[in-house]
Every structure is written in C-alpha cells, then in structure tokens.
Amino acid sequence: KELRMEDHGSFAESSILKTVDAIESDAVQEYVNANDIEQELASILNAFFDAQRDTLPENPFPEITKRFRLTEARVRREKCQSIVNSTMNQNAELFRQSPTTQKQEIPMQLFGKTFVSVSSTKHKLAPRRAASTNSHHHNRDEDDDDHSELKREVESQEGQDQNLKDMQAEKDEFKLFGLDYVVNKISDIHWAEGICRILQPILSPIQVTMDECSVNKISLISAPIFFYDPQPFLSTLARQHILFSHLFPSTRQCADSEWPYFMCCGQIDCHHHVACSSGVFQKSMSSFIKIVQQQIYWLSVQSKKSAEYRFFFKHLIVDNHDRNQQYWTFREIKENRTKFEVSIKHAVVQKHAIRMIFYFVGPDDTLLFECETWWHFHYRQPPNPQPVQPEAAKYNQIDAMKDAKRLQWNSFSINSHFTCYHGLFVNEHDVAVYIDLFEHLETEINEVTFGTSFADWQLQDWRDTLDALNQMKYGTVVAYIYKFAVLVDSTNLDRKKFEGLSQTQIRDRRLKIDRFRDEVLQEMRLTLYSQGQLFQGFMNCCLRMMEMWRIFDRELNEHEQQMREQQQRRGTVSESNNNQLQEADYRVAGQWMHKVIHGVVQRFNQICDLYYPLNSEYMHCIPRIKFLLARCMENAPPWTDWRKMVKEPMGRSVWNCCSEVQTMFDMLGDTMIRDELGMCISARKWIQKRRELLNYNKPNLAFKPTENRIVIQDAIEYNTDENRIVIQDAIEYNTQRRQFPTTIIRQATLLQYAVETELDRWFSDTLFDILSSSHASNPYIKMTVEAQKMALQFESYKQSDAEITDEVINIDEIELVENETIAMKDIHHLYTYQGLYGYISALLFVDAKAMQDLHEDMISHIPMKVMRNELHLGSDSRVFLSFCGEVAHYPHFDIGIDHMDMIQTVAISGSSFEDVVDTFATHCWLLTQSLFNITNLKHQSSVIFISLNIGFKEYGSEVIRNKNNESLICKMIIQAAKSRQAINLELKIASDVLNQYISVTLHLYLIYHESVNDWYRLCWPFQTEVIFTSIFFEIDDAITFWRAYSVGNIESEYNSEHKDYHRELTQKLQDYHASCDLDEYLHVALRYKALYKDCSGVVEIYRLFDKSTMCGMCIEALKQLRLAQTLLDSKKMCPYFKHQMNSRMLNQQIKGSLHNAEEILFSDAFTFFDRTILRYLTEHGKEEDDETMADVVDVLIKVMNCVKSPIIMACTSWLTRKNENMFISI
C-alpha cells in the first residue's frame, strides 16, 4: 500500500451523493461556468492592483486566496438562499407552523398581554388514523368469509390496545404557556417538548409548608431552539439539496429521535421563582435555601438512581458586588453548609444573582446541552387574622391599606419580571402564581408602557450577546440574535417612538420594522443551517463532554479523599452503598459518553463522505479530525467501566484527542460563521445600533502588519528562459538600472514573475481540473483550496532545487574508512564524512559543521572522564560522547533543536566485571551529583538536572540531593547494568551555540573490555536505531563502540539488526501516517531513505522544513512552544530549578517562542481560520509571571496544534505532485 497524501484528498462517492436527483445534478453542472470564474479572477486581480494602494504584499496568493474564499462563501449563500426560498414556497404550510402544533388563549393577563397555551396534537391524531385503518381492513374482510371472523377478533384486540395507548397519550399531553407574542412565535412545539420532558423534574412546581413558611416554587424555561423552524420543514430541506444534507445526513430524512447539531449552540435558560410567605423573614430565607439545596441534591444524587440518568451538576455560582464569583460544588456545599447558607443570604439581601450550571443529555441521546438556572426569591408577610367585629364600620380604611401592602410580594432579584418576556411555563398553575407575584407592577407596566420595559430586557440580554461577539463566540451569537429577531416585532415596541405621528406614518414605521426583522430572520436562518453552526455544535458537544469528565475527576478525587479521611479516623475503610452507587454512576454516565462520541464521529464522517467537501475551510483538516475522533472511540474505556477514564493514562489520551478536536471544531466553526455573518447586512446594522446604544466598543482585534511588503514604484523588469525566471540576472539588471536595494529588487522580481507567469499557469490548470470534474457543487471551493496550496508553494521560489541539492545531498562525499590498521580488524561498513564517523545512514543529509559545533558545546557542559579517580584504569579506558536519533536533522530539517539524544559511553578495561560495574555505578552517581550541582543549589548553572531514570523507575532531585541514598542508587545501577536495562539522565542544558535551553536525554552505556581474553561486553538496552543513527566524532570512539557491539554485515537486508530497524521504521511510518503527524512522518522517512541510500524526494522534504516557508516556521514554532512549556513545568516542579536556571536566557527563550508563534498567526501568508485564533490570545499582555506565561504558552500550543495540521496537509499536497517519492511506498 502506498502511503501518499493523495489518499487523504480523495473521497469515495457516498450514498448521499448518489441519492441526489437528476434535476439537482443538472443544476450543479449548469452552476459551473468558466466565464464566471474568469470574471471573478479578473475582478480579484483588479482589486489587487488597485491604483489607490501604496504597498503590495511580497506573496500575492494569500490575498487571492482570501478573496476566493469570500467568493466561495457568497456563491454558496446565494445558492442556499434560492433553495430555502423555493422550499418555503413549495411547503408553505410546513414552514409557518408544524401540523402537530395548536395554540389556544387562556383567560389570564399580565402587563396588558394575554397568556396563550400551545400543545401538540399528534396524540389526538393517532386515534383517527387508527380508525381509518380499521375501517379499511373491515371492508376488505367482507369479501373473504373464511377469515373474516378471525380478523375481526384480531382487530378487536388491536382496537382495545390502541384505545389504551390513546388514553395514555391524552394523559401525557404536553402543553406550554406564555405571553401571546412569545407562544405565537413557536412554529413547532417538538423542540421545546423534547427539552421540557427531560427537565420535567427540574421544572415541576413545588407547593409545601416548611418551618411555618408557605413555599411556592414555579419555573420558566427559555432557549433559542424553541423558536426554530418546524421539524418537517427541516426534514424537507435536508432532502431538497446536498448543501443541507448535513442537517440529517444519515438518511436525509428527519426522525423524532434525531436532532440537528446546531440545536446545541447556545444554552437552556431556566428561571426558578421561589415565593415564601412567612411572618419571619429569616424563616423564609431558610426555606428558600432548602429548596435550592434540594434541587442540587436531586441533580447530584437522586437523579442518578433512575434509569434516565442524564444530569451532571457542575456548580452553583453566587455573584458578589465586587464582581467576584463564588463557586460551590456539591461536596463543598455538604462540608461547609453554614458558610454556604450565609453566602446565599448575603446574596439575596443584596439582590445579587444566584445561578447554577448543569449539563444534560438531549432527547436524541447524542447532543449535550448546558442549562443555566437562575434563582429568584420573593417574600411577603401573610395577613394577620382579623377578629370578629360587631360592626363592619370599625374596620377602618387605614388597616385595609396596611393589609393590602402586606400582601404584596417583594422581589429580591433585580428585574425578575423580565423572565416572562421570553420564557415559557410548563403548567397553568405556574402562570397563576406568576401573575400573583407581579400583579403589583401592573400600575407601572401596562399595555402602553410594556414596550419600554421590553426594550430594557432586550438591552440587558444584548449586553451578554455583545460580550460573546467580542469573544468571537459566533455560534452563541447567531442563536441569540435569531431569538431576539423572533421575539421583537412592531407590536411590542416602545410606543413613545410613535408619539406625534399620524396613523399612516405609524403604519409605515411598523411595516419598515417588520420588514427589517424579516430580513434579519432570513439572514440568521441561513447562518443557522450552515455547516459553521454544525461545527459549533460538534464543538459544544466535545466541550461539554470534557466538562463532564472534569466533574467525574472531581468527584473521584473527592471520594478518594473521603476514604482516606475515613481510614485515618477509623483505621479501616468500609465499602458503603454510596461507593456502589458511585460505580453505577460511572457506568451509566459512560454509556452516555459513548453515545455522544459515536454520534459526533458518525455525523462528521457522513458530511465528509463526499467526492469533494462542501467547504474549503475544513478540507485540509479532515484527515486529522478523523484520526482524533477514531482515537477517542478506540481508547475510550468500556462504558461499563468509565471510571478508568480518570484513573488510567489511556483516559488522558482520550482527553488530549478530544481537547484538540474541540479546539479545531471551534476555530473551523467560527471561521465559517464569520464568513456568513459578513454577508448579513441587516443583522450587522442591528448589532451596530445596539453597540452605539449601549456604548459597547468593538474589541481590539488589530494585528501587526507584516513587514514583507513592497513599495509600489515603476515596473521592474525581469528576464525569462523557457518560462523559468532567471532571478540573478533580473536582480543585477534592475539594481544597475533603478538603483534599488537588492532585497527590494528580489522581492519585487518574484512578485512580478508570480503575477505574470505563475498565476496564469496556476489558474489555467485549476480551471481545467474544475471543469473536468464530474461533481462540483461550488467551483470556488476548489479554487480556494488550490490557492491555499499556491500561497505556500510561492515561498519555495526563493531557492532552486539545484541549490538545495548542493546543500543537503552529500552521498558522494561520504567515504568508507579503509581497513588498514590492526585496530580496524573485523570492522566493516564504517564511514566518514568531514570528521564524522558512523554508518552511512547516520551521515547522510548531515551538516558536519553544525554537528561538530554542537558536540563541542555539549562536552563543555558534561564531564567526559570517569568520575572515580582513585581507581586505576586500563590504558584503553575512555569516556566519549556521541549523538543518536534525529539530532542529525539539524539544521536542514530541524530549524532549531528542542530535544537531543546523546550517549555517554564509559569504556573500561579490566579483569573483574564486578569491579568494573561497581566503578560504573559510582561514576553514574558522581556524574549525577555533578550535573545536579549539589554544592551550589542556589546558584545559576548551565545544566539543570531533572531526573535519573533506571529501568522504569524515576528518581528526582529530592532523592539525588540526599547523599544517604548513594548506596541504594548504586545498587540499582549495578542491577540495571547487569540486566541491560536503560540508564539515562533527563537534563536541560543552556546551549551556547543555540543560545537557549534544550531538553537532553543522556544515555549511559558501559563497555567492559576483558583485557586477558580480549573480549567485550555491552551493558545497555538493545536498540537497533543506535547503530544506524549514531554519530561519532573520533575514529577510536567509533571503533571501540562497534567492536563491542560486534557489528556484522549491516548493509545486508537479511541482517537481523537491519530487519529490526526496517520493521521499526515501517511501524512508525504507518502510525504517523494514520495520525496525520506528517512532520514526524517525514523525519522517519528521512531515516528510511538514509537506510537505503535513497535521495529522491529529499529536496521536497527540505522545502517543507525550510525556515523561510510558512510550514517550516509553524513546525518549529510549535516545537519551541512545547520546549518552553517543559521549562516552565520544570521550574514549577522543583524550587532548586528556579535558582539554577538562567532567568535572562529563559525569559528571552519563552518570549522568542511566543513571538515566533504570533508572527505566523499574524502573517499575511496565513490563510487559515481567518483571524478567529485571536480569541485564544486574550491571556497575552498580562503580567509576565510564571503562571501567566504558562497559561499563554498552553493557549498558543493549543492553537498551533490546530494550525499545523492544515498547513502541512496543504504543503505536502503540492509537494507530492512535484515528486511523489517524497512519501515511502511500503
């Protein structure tokens, strides 16, 4: 099987594409028009060479890419608009209202508005359908006398069963209640019904008497999804065209148990109003706190006992006056109940917000929703019992007024009456209680003044929406703008705006407002149905799943702490029912988690199972996302033992994969939604008006302009030879003629060559590819993808293949060491290259000068002698340092080293193996002490000791610092040397050559030379790559090592070491190819090519890692960020490191890594994610302490992980076209 990048770019036809109607296929073919594409390119070039511009970019293709991407989004939106409009016209009855939803007024009013109920009629329609079916069968039975009696008996029994089902259905009939304008905007009760039935235990009213206090708890629920279009309409739309097939892609038909993923964008808002009536305020407050605690206890404990365990309580939040927030988990509430009650009391008295957050599994068992619950406290004193008066006149008017005032409710939550402006009740009793709570406000809020109060609620929620917009949470923004547009119309506007206007002017103003509202709704509807919202739904599910894992982890840690405390008190641990219940919790929760992961995997695979994806933005990310999702499925523990998720390292692997794919979904979704929002003209006007009204400034999302720009002057000429640019001739010609600086001439020459030659060639090839394709729903998708590749390819013009070959390919200069001396007896296949020694696979593609400089740098930091001086050693005893692994890839294929593997070989000759091993153990201990700088722990050192690893055990600084552990450590080293286990040191070394800290793994090998019989014994773990990658800097070192190893004919493919090394490389190639870690894949491919002396494709690999290209800079920036992360972790891990590290070098290195990453993300050549990564950089710019820097580094690593994948995929895609031998055929 050939492992090539093209395998990732081709997608087999799916059943979805095959089900597209012939009419649709014809429309797609007509949609591809070469003239339109050529005109679009001409307009892009005209804008690029606009006479008003003062500067031009060095690389023209990134700007062309971005313009094509906007064109792609515009064309897609126009097509989607026409499809939605035609579907609306053809299915008008489905679009306006679901046929299973009916509405009815109820005799209740508040604030001049009438309450309305809405219910589902599908249960009532069932009996009629059943009766019709029975009648049809009855008519057929009359023609068959032989079986009529039997069939009548069967139908009679079926009819009885159906009647029972119908009675149960009528009993379980679902209703919602709310203000007329809220309920009338609900097109399909199906969405609200699915959510409310799950949240029924949360929304159920409570009417109890506790502690001489009458308590009434009612609930309202609100969510953007309640106002979405009917389910039958979405199902019809999904079947109408492939552009909407992602709504229900499995069958392209909508089922009751399947919900679109854009439904989980945003959150569910639940408002609890707790009315407490008591003569003592403190008793009412205590009752309110008990109600809150009871619901938290039900979410955390009681709900887990039922089969429908779907709830995961996160925490309760108490807002303080100084904007600080207190977070209370279930365990914290149990252990600090008094403190919790005091906190709630203070918040209620000061009218601060009290809310809690929990997650629950949606009706389709695959979507995860977030519910934010708000608690509102209301209090009043009950009326005093009146004594029996002989005369009614004695009951004076003053006492009546006092009683009326006493009966009024006092709300301890600011603007709590706003909840009915957008919320819904689940039963009629709650409506009556709610009217009683706010009846006293009818003097202030009536039919005339309702519009003003409604505007106040709208502005309050707009603040949260604008905050989300400033943070680039576009999925949430779209959901809530849609909700605002649905609820706001001309009937609930402030009537003060119409004062002084005639009836005609008022009517025109209302029509204008309704028309503007319809435009916003139409724009938001298209954005909701886009794939951007789908990806945001993926992101929300992954994010909430990770939050649930945090809850599991927290509960498990709390449980283990409780067991330890119990053991300390009692001396034993008893297995209680609570422990068994917790095990059951994990099993049931694990079942939900598996369903959620499987749902995301299935849905993503279905939308990608096309000949060509429907959006260019995620084109290059598909292989990596598929791998991450598959890894989550493979490594996830069985749902019956989900506790392993937080206990075993495999769970960490699932966590890391889910975290990376969540970030990638987030950036992809934000980018695609941002493109859609850019075309929402009316919605943007509305947002701008709200910004100005609320005095909300736009966030500072400006980025540093690139310095690689060319000042436009006169035209610069160049010479061509057979369509190839002769850069040097052009530079010399223009330098002499124009007297421009050479750098400017070079950049301008490349730019003009690209525009006049390469651009035409690229456009013609891409256009031919598009027109010859059998399926192309949007030709600009292909144009954008190919332009992204060309933007990266343009950087390669700065260096020719011949120059790279002369610099990298050194196979002709590697020579075989002649076997002329006695020392070379039986030593074969030892090669040399410019003072380096080793096998040819280790010396191929090596920069000898760079290796020698690094070697001199390392031996200046690491002692290179046997540390036990009192022992007399043989004359041929020696200590030498060699490199192994991928160190040799520096600097051609590794711009800056972040990790080095080195071998310190201790060769000792003697007659007693026991004495030699003892000497080696003492050497290792003293070397560790020396590198740890045990005598000056509070002084700076160029070497930072991390750990000593012996076999599978790790010994940190605390163990090495104690000199009493010398005998123990030496004993462990002796056992490891005799049993050939690994012995190595983990170090951080301040390199003078690289001017930075690097991670070093120093392997310690012992070679014992028995001088009497002249035989050798190696004390080191068997690793085949050591022979094939080790570089020695003295011929005697190489001879000593190879003689001890008894290297045979390793050039033969039948050699055991050769076969083992080949097998290891092949396995790594397959693993990295499957995971789409193509930078790691190509490092292994270089070693594979070096093994077989294959130089084909090496030039292309060099171009990918070249420091002048975007791809090479991205790979190196991520490596340096990870190195900075390990340095900060090491500094935090041990107090000695803080004193020993060179603070100036460390800060300079960390800032340099951050700067390199930002240079990539802010570069004009960066064509992915369209600046949406800026929301992840909000941590930058704070105080530069270690914790803040660590947070910034973590955020940038998360971003660069997602950025690296599409860049490398795009780069390797065009490199493989140039030379397919870049990848290994196995």
In this predicted model, what pLDDT tens digit does every residue of 419-464 receive, in sequence order?
999 999 998 999 999 999 998 888 888 888 888 888 889 888 999 9
Average pLDDT of the residues in 1091-1116: 90
Encode pLDDT of 70-82 as tens digits. Answer: 888 888 898 899 9
Whether the pLDDT of residue 172 is over 80: the answer is: no
Q: How confident is the model at residue 640 (pLDDT cuts 50, 70, 90)?
A: low
Q: How confident is the model at residue 852 (pLDDT cuts 50, 70, 90)?
A: very high
Beta carbons within 8 Å of 614's beta carbon, 6+ residues apart: 76, 242, 243, 246, 531, 607, 777, 778, 781
Encode pLDDT of 908-946 as tens digits. Answer: 888 888 888 988 999 999 899 888 875 555 567 788 888
Tokens of 527: 């954005």
Tokens of 792: 């990266």
Tokens of 1066: 């092949």
Dist CA 506 CA 1075 (whole Å): 63
Q: Which region among 483-487, 650-654, 808-812, 998-1002 has the lowest average model confidence (pLDDT)? A: 650-654
Alpha carbons within 13 A on the beta-carbon side of 307: 0
pLDDT confidence of residue 903 = 94
Dist CA 459 CA 494 (whole Å): 13
Q: Which region among 568-582, 718-732, 826-840, 904-918 has the lowest average model confidence (pLDDT)? A: 718-732
Phi, psi (degrees; rounded to nearest 5) at 1115: -60, -45
Encode pLDDT of 489-509 as tens digits. Answer: 877 777 777 777 788 888 888
pLDDT confidence of residue 714 = 35
Which is nearest to 752 in space by CA: 788, 725, 791? 725
Instruction: Break the chain down into helix, strand, coil percent, rounded to 5.
Output: 60, 15, 25
Distances (CA, A) of 1072 to 336, 1066, 1067, 1083: 50, 10, 9, 10
Encode pLDDT of 1175-1217 as tens digits. Answer: 666 545 554 666 778 888 888 898 898 899 899 998 998 888 8
Helix (H, G, I), strand (E, B) or coil at 831: strand
| Alpha helices by DSSP H, 720-778 | 727-738, 742-753, 759-771
| Alpha helices by DSSP H, 321-449 | 330-335, 337-349, 397-407, 428-437
Contact 1099, 804 (CB under 8 A): yes
Which is nearest to 243 in space by CA: 24, 30, 523, 520? 24
Encode pLDDT of 100-113 as tens digits. Answer: 677 788 888 888 88
Q: Output the pTM of the full model.
A: 0.85
pLDDT confidence of residue 375 = 95
* Percentage of the chain exceeding pLDDT 90: 28
